[in-house]
Structures are given as structure tokens and as C-alpha cells.
Structure 1
Amino acid sequence: MRDGYQKDFLPSFNIELPKPSLSLSGDVLQPPGLLDGNVVIPYIHYSLIMSKSTKQALFSAANVDNAIAQTVSGYKGRKWFIDARVGRNNQITNSAYIGTPWDRGHLTRRTAVTWGITIQHYLLAMIAVLILMLLCNISVLMKTNGVYQKQRFLNSVYQKTIN
């Protein structure tokens, strides 16, 4: 289910995932839960590469299909999850935000990756669609996708765009 970013997602184009520059290559995390040499962490419709030093993603790349976008509501007070493939010690945990001006924001926008087959075309797949959307939504709540953002910014104009 976690196929991640697909380079051939756009018809007639192959857009490779970026490779970290030579200056950043030593900071790329080798996630303990991935096969040796594989540093790309796949999620549903997106992938990212983690930094060892900041415990944040260096970048993410997503496949977006607004033609079949789905809305997942009711996620106030979202819980963020540790990605076991990356290891707890390689991710920013809640304690990093206590007593600081920082809050956790999405690098990959939640609404960018909640797409899939439409209910109108596949009534029999309604349960599968809802599960896929919930999994997409949870996928961007992995702590690997959290980066420092100023609370005032996150709780103002930007908040309206991600919900």
C-alpha cells in the first residue's frame, strides 16, 4: 500500500526523485527498517528522505491528482505517529516542542495526498476508499513529515490552507 512517490505518475514524463547534493549526502539517514542502501521512505502517494542531524525530512516528493481528490474531515487535534521503519531516535518527538515557539507542520500537505478512486464510480469499494483516505491522512501525520514552523504562522493563514 505504501508505494510512495512514482516517477512515471505523469503520462509521458519520468520525473526522478531528487538526490541530495554531495554536501548533504553525509547527513542522509539510512532508516533501520529499510533495506540497506534504501534511504527513500515511501508513504501513500509520497516519499521523503530524512536528515540524521535535524531528524526532519530533507525533502519530500508527492504525486497529486486533484481530479480524484477526496476530503477527509473530522481530524481536529490530530495525533502524530512514530514511523517504526525510521526508528524513534531518528524522529522529532513531542518533547521538542514543549516550551518553544515551534509547532509541528506538514512538509507534504495532508490534502495533497488524500486522493484515490471515487465513490461515485466504485460504490462497492466505498469501505476501501474510506480506509485509503484515512491511511493517507495518517501517513502525513508521521513524525518524519513534521518540521519546525513558527506557531503564529501555523495557527494563522497557513492553517486555513492545510485544512
Structure 2
Amino acid sequence: MSGGYDRDFLRARLELPSPSATTILLDYIHFSVRFRAARKLAAIVGVNISGAELNPLAREGTWHFDDRIPREQQAGPDVYKNNAFDRGHLVRRLDPVWGDAATAKKANQDTFAFTNAAPQVDDFNQGKELWVGLEDHVLGHADAHDAKLSVFTGPVFLDDDQPYRGVQIPRKFWKIAAWTNDAKLAAVGFVLDQSPLLGKVELKKAIDQRLLEGEPPPLGPFRTFQVPIGQIADLTGLSLSRLTTADRLVSGQRELGKQPKAIQLESMQQIRL
């Protein structure tokens, strides 16, 4: 079985970005995680997606700790019990599930490691649905070329992120999808913002108190944006120079004589590829 993110998967070499903060590199089937133990969450994940070989396995998997890291350094099941948080897959479950049957099955289970999860509010509104479907949308565009994508995803870590059950909860998440067009690298970047909820409530007291009182937890809107990849570099401190140069949003806006800026998405049709 093949393991880990492959920098040579596309026709243009693309390294897995590395944060300046200390992380632990963990390889899984078709994806890798740079895990930041100080935050108990992944700092960045990178996955290779082969659209022509995807295996649509049913959602069957068991959430589990990664034995390569002490359990107390991972955001485990206690973070997600009896509250409004999903175990949000950073590498989407189906993205690495390709290849022969045994490889696809192992990749599916690998995505259920707690090292690949982050707390995201369980609010399946339009914004969340947009976020979940981004890879499919970009893959459809890339299909005429290689039907291959490399996708990077991670939380935006801020020092003042709100603590909750021993974990600071990220307010925003980012995603970059990259592909090649005639061997030339192309990329697009996105940000999911759950701060409309997190900025208005004190998580532990507000959510737990409402649950104790039998009321639904306060759920706020997800907002999904397509953003210049340079903005993601600024938010995260990652070195993303190759991806910034390949940014289709920025090149398209500049061709129209516009300054690069983010677009709040309400539908896939607004995405600039």
C-alpha cells in the first residue's frame, strides 16, 4: 500500500507546506498530517486525490487515537461529547479512498484518526455544504486534465482561540486545492469562518448550560469564502509562495483590472477557477 502525501503526484512537484511551529509528521494512506501537539490538533493536512480511481465506500469507520502520539496530546472523544461539535474531518473521508480495494478500505479507516479531526459546529447549513463539496467541484474542473488534485487543509491557530475541555477551538479553517493544467500548476484557496458562532458565546458555559436545560445549543452560520492564497499565508504563517503564484482567483481578478479580494460564496457557481 502506498503511504503518505506524495509531492510528485501532480505533474508539477508540490511539497507539503511546513509550519514554523514544531509539528510531528504522520503518514497515512494517500495523505499526511503535520500534527501540532501543543494544540492537540493537526496544523496542516495534505491529500492526493485521484478522481479516476475513487472508490465510493460507505461511511464506515471507527474514530481512534494514533498510537504514534500520546493520547493526552490528541483531542479525543471527550472534546466532542454532548455538545454542538462535530469531529470535522480535515482530510475529507472519501478523498484518499482510491486504488485497489484493500488500499481504499485502509485509507477510509485512516481518515477516522483523531489526528485528522477538528471541532466544527454541527450546523449543516448552506455554508457547511459548500465547504464539504469544494473538492468535488474543483475535481470536476480538473477532470479534463489529470482528474487529480492535491489538497491542503488546516485550522487557523490564534493565541486567543477560546479554550474548551482542554483544547483551544479554531475560529476559521482554510483549504487549498491544486492541480496541473498542461503541466502548469493551478490553485485556489478557501476559508471557512465559524466565528459568527464562536465569537458570540462563551463555549463551555453557553453550550453546556443550554444542554443541561434541555435547550438546543446556539448554532451560528458558517461562512465560506474563496480567498487569495496570499491571505491564507498571512493567516497561518505558512510559506505558500508556489501556490500563491498559481492562484487562479488572483490571476483572474488582475486580468479584469481588479485588486485581488475574497469572495463570500453562496453557491459553487461563484468559484473562480
**Common fold by TM > 0.5:** yes
1:157 equivalent to 2:149? Answer: no
Asked whether the 8 Å contact 1:6–1:63 carries over to 2, the reply is yes
Aligned match of 1:140 = 111
Aligned equivalents of 1:80, 1:115: Cα separation in 2: 20
**Aligned to 1:95, which of 78, 103, 120?**
78
Aligned match of 1:16 = 15
**Aligned to 2:93, which of 97, 103, 110?**
110
Aligned equivalents of 1:160, 1:17: Cα separation in 2: 21
**Offset of residue 101 of structure 1:** 2.0
Aligned match of 1:71 = 56
Backbone CA RMSD of aligned residues: 2.3
Number of aligned pairs? 132
Distance 1:159 1:7, change over 3 A: closer
Asked whether the 8 Å contact 2:18–2:34 carries over to 1, the reply is no
- Identity among equivalent pairs (%): 30
Aligned equivalents of 1:40, 1:97: Cα separation in 2: 24
| Higher RCO (CA-CA < 8 Å; seq separation 6+) | 1
Q: Aligned AA for 1:109?
A: R
Aligned match of 2:36 = 51
Distance 1:98 1:45, change over 3 A: same
Distance 1:92 1:138, change over 3 A: same
**Secondary structure of the corresponding residue to residue 110 of structure 1:** coil
Q: Aligned AA for 2:14?
A: I
Aligned equivalents of 2:91, 2:30: Cα separation in 1: 10
**Offset of residue 152 of structure 1:** 1.7
**Secondary structure of the corresponding residue to residue 40 of structure 1:** strand
**Offset of residue 158 of structure 1:** 6.6
Asked whether the 8 Å contact 2:63–2:114 carries over to 1, the reply is yes
**Offset of residue 53 of structure 1:** 2.6
Distance 1:7 1:160, change over 3 A: closer
Distance 1:15 1:160, change over 3 A: closer
TM-score normalised by the chain length of structure 1:
0.72
**Offset of residue 74 of structure 1:** 5.2
**Secondary structure of the corresponding residue to residue 94 of structure 2:** helix
Gaps of 5+ in 2: 136-273
Aligned match of 1:36 = none
TM-score normalised by the chain length of structure 2:
0.44
Asked whether the 8 Å contact 1:109–1:140 carries over to 2, the reply is yes
